């Protein structure tokens, strides 16, 4: 009994002591432990659950959505932007290339002008020629036309391979063309162009310029071309009126077509950029270029016809039987 009674007394003492102490201590310990432990477990659970649920859906959704959205948007934006940038770059490159070509051309023309005129407006061959053209217009035009006509005949013979029996391109026609240029072509051009300039002197309207071009093509050019073809027929061997007329009939319209194409352009250029006293030499240069081409083409055609008809050599001199 003493042992049981003693145990019971100890148990009652323990309960009385533990009750007042256990409550406050349990609350204090629970408050101190619950905060850190709760935050620790909450962080671990949140990280694991977030990695578990966020990773796969994000990877599964981001790829298809990004592919579906990126394709159309990239196609809609890339096309116009790429075309716009490409157009701008192409335009800039083209502008720079054009500017470079213009600068190079301008520099080349400037160098040629310096070489030709001696670099001084008052000196050089061109300035001397223009002074002579103003002081002695007819004589200067005669010398210019004679030299160009002779050179035209020589170049046309060389281009068409129209050589003499000795194989030379300097035939008897070359000095004859020199005389034609000096004593027929230059005085005729000086007279006709002078009349044209007097009729339209001081008239700078568009209507006057158009009328001047029409008068040049319908009056001046036909007269000059008839005289040119007649002279060419005589120079190459024609001796009768029938022979000269046959040459004019065969060559008048082809020569007029060339004149109608080139003369308006040349005259419009002269009206715009050249003083009147330089018109005849300018037209002589244009006529030299065109005449060389036409003369060479005519020589080739005539040589082919003569070879087929008479089995003749390379010369294109006229003979009386050619007109029968």
| CA dist., res. 224 & res. 247, Å (int) | 15
* Band (29; pLDDT cuts 50, 70, 90): very low
pLDDT for residue 214 = 94
120 has a pLDDT exceeding 70 = no
148 has a pLDDT exceeding 90 = yes
27 has a pLDDT exceeding 70 = no
In a domain, 86, yes or no: no
| Helix, strand, coil % over all residues of the chain, rounded to 5 | 85, 0, 15
> What is the model's pTM?
0.57
In a domain, 33, yes or no: no
In a domain, 151, yes or no: yes
* Band (24; pLDDT cuts 50, 70, 90): low
Pair (297, 148) in one structural domain: yes
Residue 274 CA to its chain's centroid (Å): 26
Pair (161, 220) in one structural domain: yes
Pair (112, 158) in one structural domain: no
Pair (196, 314) in one structural domain: yes
Residue 63 CA to its chain's centroid (Å): 51
How many folded domains does the chain comprise? 2
Question: For the chain, what percent of residues have pLDDT higher than 70?
Answer: 66
| CA dist., res. 106 & res. 191, Å (int) | 36
Pair (110, 185) in one structural domain: no
Pair (148, 97) in one structural domain: no
Pair (115, 142) in one structural domain: no
Higher pLDDT: 302 or 137? It is 137
pLDDT for residue 323 = 44
Pair (225, 302) in one structural domain: yes
Tokens of 18: 């533990």
pLDDT for residue 5 = 58
Pair (160, 291) in one structural domain: yes
């Amino acid at each position: 009994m003493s042992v049981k009674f003693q145990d019971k007394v100890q148990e009652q003492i323990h309960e009385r002591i533990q009750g007042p102490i256990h409550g406050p201590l349990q609350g204090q310990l629970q408050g101190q432990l619950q905060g850190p432990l709760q935050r620790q477990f909450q962080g671990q659970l949140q990280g694991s659950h977030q990695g578990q649920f966020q990773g796969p859906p994000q990877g599964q959704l981001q790829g298809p959505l990004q592919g579906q959205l990126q394709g159309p948007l990239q196609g809609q934006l890339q096309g116009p932007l790429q075309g716009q940038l490409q157009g701008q770059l192409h335009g800039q490159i083209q502008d720079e290339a054009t500017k470079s070509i213009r600068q190079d051309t301008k520099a080349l023309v400037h160098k040629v002008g310096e070489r030709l005129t001696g670099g001084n407006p008052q000196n050089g061959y061109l300035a001397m020629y223009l002074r002579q053209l103003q002081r002695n217009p007819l004589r200067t035009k005669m010398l210019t036309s004679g030299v160009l006509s002779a050179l035209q005949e020589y170049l046309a013979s060389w281009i068409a391979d129209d050589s003499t029996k000795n194989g030379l391109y300097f035939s008897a026609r070359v000095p004859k063309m020199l005389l034609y240029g000096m004593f027929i072509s230059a005085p005729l051009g000086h007279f006709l162009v002078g009349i044209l300039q007097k009729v339209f002197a001081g008239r700078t309207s568009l209507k006057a310029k158009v009328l001047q071009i029409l008068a040049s093509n319908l009056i001046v050019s036909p007269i000059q071309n008839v005289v040119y073809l007649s002279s060419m027929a005589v120079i190459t061997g024609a001796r009768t009126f029938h022979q000269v007329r046959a040459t004019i009939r065969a060559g008048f319209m082809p020569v007029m077509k060339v004149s109608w194409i080139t003369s308006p352009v040349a005259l419009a250029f002269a009206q715009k950029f050249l003083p009147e006293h330089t018109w005849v030499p300018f037209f002589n240069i244009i006529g030299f270029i065109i005449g060389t081409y036409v003369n060479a083409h005519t020589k080739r055609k005539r040589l082919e016809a003569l070879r087929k008809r008479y089995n003749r050599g390379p010369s294109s001199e006229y003979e009386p039987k050619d007109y029968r």
